[in-house]
Structure 1
């Protein structure tokens, strides 16, 4: 199996523990993403990292603890990427837009890490699922804050109950996770005929068009009802008869 970059050059040298651990975690991310948690072997991880299996056990104790360490590292990296991308002083929609670009850029650049978080960790129960739930809670909290800010900017604070804001945040995060999976799996033909994934900007724009356009109507006092759209005055109108859409 092809090793990680630079491993061969340092295999026979004394490497600081922190660097060696990162090499092991890098190898573990690739192996868990490709093989799955149950099928992945410590032998394979050690070989890919360019170390002995006893050294992996010495540093990381067990396969379960290694997997937990991978989840914590990848989750922290994702949260850091989204946080760094957000424009803190911007309007709510700009904050969400920049955060989404950071999210989609990171998941595209780290598809194996995203696969471990989005698929492997969720399917093997505790304690792994709990680690991912904590990550998701951080992101949902950010989106909840953004939606609350948008409501304040639109002057409709109080019209959106806390429960509804939380539900909207969970729905938006779930849609973004699904879109990231789709974007990583999909390839489109580029201008030169090469196959390429949708860009982070394209994915973020899709998400904004899907979610924020609807939130914009909600912030404007228009809600969907089985009979059409109801405005702040209780007026109900068929979808095609909204102002500016005839």
Structure 2
């Protein structure tokens, strides 16, 4: 009786196993401390196979960053629900973000902690992902504000800084939530809504805080620009 032939695992599936193991190792151990030996062992493959598929530790880390960044952006885009009132759109987008970062803490650690501190190439990958998220949030807030104002020409600069600040706050809050036992996705999203929506809600209603007239923005005055919140 001949030997039973085992089905060979497709390359794409095997590669995802390696990336899963690498994300877990990089996320928990850090880029510098992680070794190809432990990644291979966790993936259940030989170290030469990891090198054959993914070339080097640097290329493996880059592949991890790209995969996790793509997944995070997709989650945020899928979570935001167009057609809802502005606050509900923001709520659903934030909930999607915090759900993803809570479910994938190692992937979030790779993106927000490891990739930013271990070389310009890695940091550039994360910066591209972050820029895409900021652009998406800017568009979400801008469309909602234009609808609220019935003003299709509301300038993007009115909300671009708000989107940048909102994304930065969400990133910091995700770090805190993942490190703090008992913090739920709902709590995280509600915390940021309570922090941000007072200002965004006023923007939707056409009420903006403006600097005192006797304290002009020196940079704006020097360049001849007006304040983006005025």
Q: TM-score, normalised on structure 2?
A: 0.84
Match of 1:122 in 2: 116
Shift of residue 220, structure 1, vs aligned partner: 2.6
1:213 aligns with 2:198: yes
Q: How does 1:144-155 map to 2 (within 5 A)?
A: 144-155=138-149
Instruction: Give the match's secondary structure for 1:224.
Output: coil
Structure 2: give runs of 5+ residues left out of the alignment: 1-5, 213-230
Query: Hey, what's the Cα distance between the residues in 1 that align with 2:208 and 2:81?
Result: 29
Name whichever structure is richer in strand by fraction.
1
**Deviation for aligned residue 1:126:** 2.2
Residue 131 (1) aligns with residue 116 (2): no
Deviation per CA, 1:193-233, whole angstroms, max 9, x where unpaired? xxx3x221221111111111211123333333566xxxxxx
> Does 2:209 align with 1:224?
yes
**Structure-2 change in CA distance of 1:84 and 1:159 (3 Å):** closer
Q: Is the 8 A contact 1:156 1:219 kept in 2?
A: no
Give the conservation status (yes or no) of the 8 Å contact 2:146–2:152.
no
Query: Residue 107 in 1 paired to residue 101 in 2?
Result: yes
C-alpha distance in 1, partners of 2:16/2:203? 46
Q: From 39, 42, 47, give the equivalent of 1:45.
A: 39
More helix by share: 2
When the two chains are superposed, the root-mean-square deviation of aligned CA atoms in Å is 2.0
The number of residues matched between the two structures is 208
CA deviation profile, 1:32-55 (whole Å, cap 9, x unmatched): 112211121111111111111000
Farther off after superposition, 204-213 or 108-117: 204-213
Show structure 1 runs of 4+ deviating over 6 A.
none
Answer 1 or 2: higher relative contact order, Cα 8 Å, separation at least 6: 2
Distance 1:159 1:87, change over 3 A: closer
Q: TM-score, normalised by structure 1?
A: 0.79
| Structure 1 residue runs without a partner (length 5+) | 1-11, 188-195, 228-246
Residues 15 and 53 in structure 2, CA contact (< 8 A), matched pair in contact too: yes
Give the structure 2 partner of residue 238 of structure 1.
none
On the 8 A contact 1:32/1:40 being kept in 2, the answer is yes
1:3 match: none
